[in-house]
A and B are shown apart, each in its own frame.
Chain A
Amino acid sequence: MVKEESPKVDNVILTTVRGVIRKLTGWLFDWARGHSPWYLHLGIMCCALEIPMAVGAPRFDMERWGIFPPASPRQADLMVVNGPVNKKYARNIKILYDQMPEPKYVVALGECAISGGPWKGSYAVIEGVDKIIPVDFYISGCPPRPEVFLDFLNKLKKLTKQRKV
């Protein structure tokens, strides 16, 4: 058996200091994060018309709550997967997920992303995105209405501020 080397003293001190700072100031980060959840929008199918387009359009206008879909996964707190995940596409979802910074949440939006929906039993579709990446929230609907998504985001904001997520 290989003997494990003990961690260097410098590292131990650094991690401890960092941990203490996190613990003391964590509420500040969560408070800030709770104000503007930016989500990576993985538009695959129908829900893509409702969730970034209709929600971003003048009627629902999500930017008034500080919600915005950045173009890059590296700026996102939240990943919204909508639509059926195909066997050809699966690894791309994992690549995008790994690029997101911590803390990160994943939302499976719509029936296809939850369980395969109408495409259940197809040779090409994976039944649910939770087989590829861990999913934190499920929103049902085919497609869900824009109001549902806005309601979800506002609840998420509240939970983040209360440090419950």
Chain B
Amino acid sequence: MSLEEPISPNDVFNAIKNKFSNIIKESEIVDDKHLIQFKIDGKHIVSFAAFLKDEMHFIYPLHITAVDYPEDNELEMVYHFVKVNMPYLVRVKFRVPRDNPSVDSIAKVWPAANWFERETYDMFGVKFRGHPDLRRILLPQDWVGHPLRKDYKMDEDYHWEKQVKEYYNPYEEKGWLGVPVSDTEMIIQIGPQHPTLHGTWKLVIKVDGDTIVDAWPDIGFIHRGIEKLAEQKRYEQILPMTDRLCYATSMEGNVLYIQLIEKLMGIEVPLRAQYIRTIALELQRITSHLLWLGAYMGDLGTYHAMFLYPLREREYLLDLFEMLTGARLTYTYPRLGGVKADIPDGWLEKVKKTLDHIEKHLPEYHDMTISNEAFVMRTKGVGVLPKEVAAKVGARGPVLRASGIKHDTRKTEPYLIYGDLDFEIPTCKDGDCFCRYLVRVEEIMQSINIVRQAIEKIPSGEYRAKARAKAVEGEASARIEASRGEYLMYVVGRKKIQPYRLAIESPAYMNISTVPYMLRGARYADLAAIVGSIDVCMAEVDR
């Protein structure tokens, strides 16, 4: 059996049930066969994960988190696993005691779990036994307390005022994590404010001459604690915060969040609203990829032509968004049961015109780029992430597809109206920076195609059903294919008008965690090309 081989949800369910009959406490297939859920004995999570990886050929753990239940004095661990091209998720849950919790780490089996486990440690204080590098990830190393626990006290303040006064540097004396450095080697800390990184994060690298030996991304410089803030806000009030999850693609955060809540509350959406959301999502994908193209070309030194052209086209698309939603960047456009307002008169014609314009000019830019020898030299064979490694470390979206794995949630588990549309998933074999460029450019063309089809088919009728947020009990998880990859949100409701727990998994988070695998062995001069090619969006990473 290979990575891509299909297995039906029933087969997976039965295979797991037969193998682990003694440790499974509850098992069910729910949500129209889109979700297979197990409650297991937490001691066996490693063998369970190893079985999913080696026998069932699941590709990566999509999300690992915890939910705090102080009244039971327990923490519930929640794992989501995903299989390539299969329309179901496997959700695994088990409980651990709240005082001094510890769980076996699956990071040895699946390196993709590494950062999720670090985050769970950071936010809940769960200790993972056998984790290769268990330290805080989003918060500073000397932070006190674990914020996502329900009894976390805000007044346990961090000594940032003292740091500002004294420039206190926690790493100053120890080097970086006590990493041994030989005579020819050197540690370089890049960031957190550096033009190469396209956002506020820090990349620490160890170099030998100009060859990069190892790298450690350090994130959390714009951590805002969305997940904690969401627990104090009503379901509708959270929507504007999801705009600011990834500022370059606000619509994706919006639509995913609204879809999640609709799933939780069982709200039906009129067909016209689904079409409008699809068109908006695809336009957003084009905007995001154009922005990436401009920024990446800026990195590679073709500043004045290829930086400016994609940004010029992006402005036309922002005009469309402004007409539709009233804002250039932060839209807050979808609503429960539909969208905020119907599309304005003449908007669809304007969309068609803009798409014609982009379709005419994009091949021109493509020619300009691939005929530029400097660009080809700096990207071909640089930052290679082979297929097996990409699957193992949990690369997402265009980075995964550039490594030759055809996985796109729009095809795998069609949401909205993607099932009715005809489009291709571009892939590439080499897994280098050039491939990532090719995949993204081809995705723009496919998105143009999708929008055209949706405009042809868009029905008239209601754009919004009457729906209100209800105080429900239950849990739901929804995923979509964002511009940066597979995006998941998980919500637990407990008969309150606020969510009990809202967990957000972002694709850029996992893509950043793959940076060390691309950088090892690369030249220092290729750093900008490699880091730029993964398309980071730090607001989404740090949340």
Which residues on A are within 8 Å of B, measured CB to CB? 42-46, 48-50, 53-54, 56-59, 71, 83-84, 86-96, 118-119, 121-126, 132, 142-143, 145
Partner of B241 from A95, A118, A124 at Cβ < 8 Å: A118
Task: Check if A58 sits within 8 Å of B308, measured CB to CB.
Answer: yes
CB distance from A127 to the nearest CB of B (A): 12
B247–A49 touching, CB < 8 Å: yes
Query: Within 8 Å of chain A (Cβ to Cβ): is B539?
Result: yes
Of all A-B residue pairs in the complex, the 6 with the closest CB atoms, nearest first, are A46-B247, A57-B311, A91-B163, A87-B160, A122-B225, A89-B221
Report yes or no: A84 in contact with B193, Cβ–Cβ below 8 A. no
Given contacts A46-B244, A92-B192, A95-B167, contact A124 B139 (CB under 8 A): yes
Are B229 and A121 neighbours in the complex by a CB distance under 8 Å?
Answer: yes
Contacts A50-B328, A88-B220; A94 near B193 (Cβ below 8 A): no
* Known A50-B328, A88-B139, A118-B240: A45·B222 in contact at CB below 8 Å: yes
With A45-B247, A58-B311, A119-B229: A91-B164 Cβ-Cβ less than 8 Å: yes
- With a cutoff of 8 Å between Cβ atoms, the chain B residues found around residue A53 in the complex are 291, 294-295, 311
Tell me if B164 and A94 are in contact (CB < 8 A). Answer: yes
Residues of A within 8 A of B329 (CB): 46, 49-50, 143
9 contacts between A and B (CB under 8 A): A44-B221, A45-B539, A46-B247, A46-B330, A49-B291, A53-B311, A58-B308, A88-B221, A124-B225
Residue on A nearest B158 in the bound complex, by CB: A87
A106, B465: Cα distance in complex, Å: 47
Taking the complex as formed, is B195 at the interface, i.e. its CB lies under 8 A from any CB of chain A?
A: yes
A59 and B316 alpha carbons, distance in the complex (Å): 10
Q: Of B225, B244, B308, which contacts A45 at CB under 8 A? A: B244
B229 touches A122 (CB 8 A): yes
- Which of B225, B291, B294, B314 interacts with A123 by CB under 8 Å? B225
> Is there an interface contact between B168 and A91, defined as CB atoms closer than 8 Å?
yes
Are A87 and B247 neighbours in the complex by a CB distance under 8 Å?
A: no
Instruction: Encode contact with A along B211-251: 1 for CB under 8 Å, 0 otherwise.
Output: 00000000011111100110010000000110010011000
| A94 with B167, Cβ < 8 A, contacts A49-B329, A123-B225 known | yes
- What's the nearest-Cβ distance from chain A to residue B253, in Å? 12
* Alpha-carbon distance A143/B312, docked complex (angstroms): 20
- With both chains docked as a complex, state the minimum distance between the C-beta of A74 and any C-beta of chain B, in angstroms: 13
Q: How many A-B residue pairs have CB under 8 A?
A: 114
Closest to A42 in B: B193
* Choice from B163, B308, B318 contacting A90 with Cβ under 8 Å: B163
* Contact (Cβ within 8 A) B160 A90: yes
The answer to whether B193 touches A92, judged by C-beta atoms less than 8 angstroms apart, is: yes
Is B167 in contact with A83, judged by CB distance below 8 angstroms?
no
Interface assignment of B424: CB less than 8 Å from any CB of chain A: no
Which residues of the partner chain A approach B462 to less than 8 Å between Cβ atoms? Answer: none
Q: Which of A48, A54, A89, A123 has the most CB of B within 10 A?
A: A123
Q: Which residues of A contact B314 (CB under 8 A)?
A: 57
Asked if A123 and B330 make an inter-chain contact with CB atoms under 8 angstroms apart, the answer reads no
B134-166 CB mask vs A (1 if < 8 Å, else 0) is: 000001100000010000101000101001100
Interface size class of B (residues with CB under 8 A): 35 or more
17 new A-B contacts, CB < 8 A, other than A87-B160, A89-B192, are: A44-B200, A44-B221, A45-B539, A46-B244, A46-B330, A54-B318, A56-B311, A86-B222, A87-B158, A88-B221, A91-B164, A94-B164, A94-B167, A118-B244, A122-B224, A122-B229, A132-B164
B290-311, CB under 8 A of A: which get 1 and which 0?
Answer: 0100110000000000001001
Most buried by A among B154, B158, B330: B158
Q: Could you say which of B224, B241, B294 contacts A86, with CB atoms under 8 Å apart?
A: B224
What per-residue 1/0 map shows which CB atoms of B507-543 lie under 8 Å from chain A? 0000000000000000000000000000000110000
| Nearest residue, chain A, Cβ from B200 | A44
Residues of B near A42 (CB, < 8 A) are 193
B289 to chain A, nearest CB (A): 14
* Contact partners of A118 in chain B: CB under 8 A: 240-241, 244
Set of chain B residues within 8 Å of A43, measured between Cβ atoms: 199-200
Instruction: Give which listed residue, B200, B229, B315, contacts A89 with CB less than 8 A.
Output: B200
Shortest C-beta distance, B375 to chain A (Å), equals: 20
- Residues of A with C-beta under 8 A to B139: 88, 124
Chain A residues in 8 Å Cβ range of B223: 86, 88, 124
B225 and A58 contacting across the interface, CB-CB below 8 Å: no
User: What separation, in Å, do the CA atoms of A92 and B220 have in the docked complex?
Assistant: 13
User: Quick check: B221 and A54 within 8 Å, CB to CB?
Assistant: no
Chain B residues lying within 8 Å of A56, measured Cβ to Cβ, are 311
A-chain residues with CB within 8 Å of residue B294 when the two chains form the complex = 53, 57
For A146, the closest partner residue in chain B by CB is: B328
Q: How far is the CB of A141 from chain B (nearest CB, A)?
A: 10
Q: Smallest CB-CB separation from A131: which chain B residue? A: B161
When distances are taken between beta carbons in the complex, the residues of chain A under 8 Å from B158 are: 87
In the complex the two chains form, is B315's CB within 8 Å of A90's CB?
A: no
- List chain A residues, Cβ under 8 A from B225: 119, 122-125
**Complex contacts, A145 vs chain B, CB 8 Å:** 328
Nearest CB in chain B: distance from A91 CB, A: 4
Min distance, Cβ B137 to any Cβ of chain A, angstroms: 11
Contacts of A83 in B (CB 8 A): 200, 222
A44 touches B244 (CB 8 A): no
Q: How far is the CA of A143 from the CA of B322 in the complex (A)?
A: 13
Query: In chain B, residues 327-372, which have Cβ atoms closer than 8 Å to a Cβ of chain A?
Result: 328-330
- Give the complex CA separation of A13 and B130 in angstroms: 69
Q: In the complex, what's the smallest C-beta–C-beta distance from A148 to chain B, in angstroms? A: 12
A57 engages B224 (CB within 8 Å): no
The answer to whether B224 and A84 touch across the interface, beta carbons within 8 angstroms, is yes
Nearest-CB distance from B264 to chain A (Å)? 22
CA distance A121 to B167 in the complex (A): 25
A111 → chain B, closest Cβ, in Å? 10
